[in-house]
Amino acid sequence: MKKTKIVATISDYKSSHEYVKALYDNGMNVVRMNTAHIDREGATKIMNDVRSVSDKIALLIDTKGPEVRTINIDEDLNVELGEKIKVSGDLSQKNCLHVNYPGFINDVQPNSKLLVDDGEIELEVKHKDDTFLYTEVTNSGIIKNRKSINVPGVSIKLPSLTAKDKDFILYAIENNIEFIAHSFVRNKQDVIDIQNILDEYNSPIKIIAKIENQQGVDKIDEILDHAYGVMIARGDLGIEIPAEKIPSVSRLLIKKCIERKRPVIMATQMLHTMIEHPRPTRAEISDIANAVYNRCDAIMLSGETAYGKYGVEAVQTMSKVASEVEINKDKRNDIIPPINYDTSSFLAAKAIEAASEMNTTAIVTDTLSGNNARYISSFRGEMLVFAKCYRPRVMRELALSYGIIASAIEPHSNRDETIRASLQSLVKNNCIDKHDTIVYVGSSYGIRGMASFLEIIDVKTGIGPKNEENLMGLIGPKDK
């Protein structure tokens, strides 16, 4: 089993029970819905298809966030090198390129670069007045309607949430979605703005902060104080900062997330070739491998599965590469989170150590909130971690955490019964063998207690003689 999780974007026009099942059977763990391209009806179709396949697949809604786009372009604009173009956020102005943000002129200064459509066209701002930015085209091409505009190094003072974002946050609350990934997070306030809405409705939805600009990179520590996890969205990030800095910035963000025990997703164009072609490039394979070597929790597919011709094959490719790299990963790249002197963190670290030194086959934990499992996951051990979750929602939340295989369990009256039920379930489902030895991390204070003990357990003994008749023949006469 691979430990690195896979997030796949699915569009409403391509979604079906059969397609989702094929992706899931080949290694997909989380379905992403991109609200930039769907409405509520489309999201409901995707959600129903996903839930018809498995209750272990998590759903993630991706908001648009604060972005500037071209608008009111009826016919594509062919622009030439050196051409002069006026830009305005005032829709009453004529003979200019309009953008959807009225305050754009105030935020942007002369000598700034306007990068249109992910950098396909660059406009250099020569000067400005109260009405227009006066720009010059630095490369020929076509400007289309509703295309993004990035301004590297400039803080755009848009509100963090659009009306559509707010509507989809309410949709996520109404439909018990697991994650909201918010675009263009610049600081902690952008996360808090969403959390305030969730708190108003007493919603347990977890927020994933998409880091797509230098502000987000600079404020990562305060963002991690409030976000559940991070998505490294290299598309816009690669436009906002120099492309050559992307690997080192990505490595920094991964390190920060692991140290803070937060899930981290690597995104954007990981298998872009497979939108149109059945086989990836060698560079794309290396890109996936580097994300795994760098210890990401999850890797993401966008257009490859949303509208590409070879979505299932893309997931297959990701799964194969992740599995191969995990076997051969170099321990010298390990990022060791600080123990922080709390019991759960300490036991998580010791569980990884014990699993290696005692020649065990797996780590097992029971969890109400998912914290026990996430803490163990953050140490990136070689053993799979089987998390028995008292809440199905937590089981799905752990679909984003490295090396965690989560399943549901009913609460039991005491610690011994919980351990026995957990091991029995794992044996019946062929996750572990009755002859295995495992590391168990649990709580002596009931299901709401923090982790308080670590135990090395022989599985057959842990199941207990009185339950042998329930193992459906797994324990034969010779074992007795």
The answer to whether 50 and 20 have CB atoms below 8 angstroms apart is yes
SS3 237: helix
Sign of the alpha-carbon dihedral angle for 133, 139, 140, 145: negative
pLDDT score at 464: 75
CA distance 111 to 326: 46
Give every CB contact of residue 221 below 8 A, 6+ residues apart in sequence: 256
SS3 content of the chain, % helix, strand, coil (to 5): 40, 20, 40
CA distance 216 to 194: 16
pLDDT score at 470: 52
Q: Which among 2, 5, 21, 32 is annotated as catalytic?
A: 32
pLDDT digits (tens, 9 = 90+) for 192-225: 999 999 999 999 999 999 999 999 999 999 999 9
Cβ atoms within 10 Å of 92's Cβ, excluding its own: 7
Rounded to the nearest integer, the mean pLDDT of the chain is 92
Q: Note if 268 is an active site residue.
A: yes
Q: Which among 5, 113, 128, 210 is annotated as catalytic?
A: 210
CA distance 390 to 337: 26
- C-alpha closest to that of 61 among 198, 175, 179, 157: 179
* % of the chain with per-residue pLDDT over 90: 81
- C-alpha closest to that of 383 among 428, 422, 314, 441: 441
Q: Which among 9, 35, 268, 418 is annotated as catalytic?
A: 268
pLDDT digits (tens, 9 = 90+) for 66-107: 889 999 999 999 999 999 999 999 999 999 999 999 999 999
- C-alpha closest to that of 70 among 144, 159, 120, 162: 144
pLDDT digits (tens, 9 = 90+) for 112-141: 999 998 889 999 999 999 999 999 999 999
Q: Note if 69 is an active site residue.
A: yes
Report the interhelical angle of 17-25 vs 311-327 (nearest 10°).
20
CA distance 477 to 146: 70
* For residues 240-256, average pLDDT: 94
pTM of the full structure: 0.91
Q: Which among 40, 56, 69, 255 is annotated as catalytic?
A: 69
395's enclosing H/E stretch is helix 392-397
> Which segment of 40-54, 315-329, 406-420 scores lowest on mean pLDDT?
406-420
* For residues 50-58, average pLDDT: 98
Q: Note if 234 is an active site residue.
A: no
Strands of 404-408's sheet, edge to edge? Answer: 404-408, 385-389, 362-367, 437-442, 453-458
pLDDT score at 338: 79
DSSP 145: T
Give every CB contact of residue 17 below 8 A, 6+ residues apart in sequence: 49, 52, 53
Q: Note if 32 is an active site residue.
A: yes
Cβ atoms within 10 Å of 55's Cβ, excluding its own: 12
Domains of the chain: 5-66+159-328 (3.20.20.60), 68-150 (2.40.33.10), 343-471 (3.40.1380.20)
pLDDT score at 456: 96
pLDDT score at 475: 47
pLDDT score at 65: 86
Reading the block at residue 371, the tokens are 């914290």
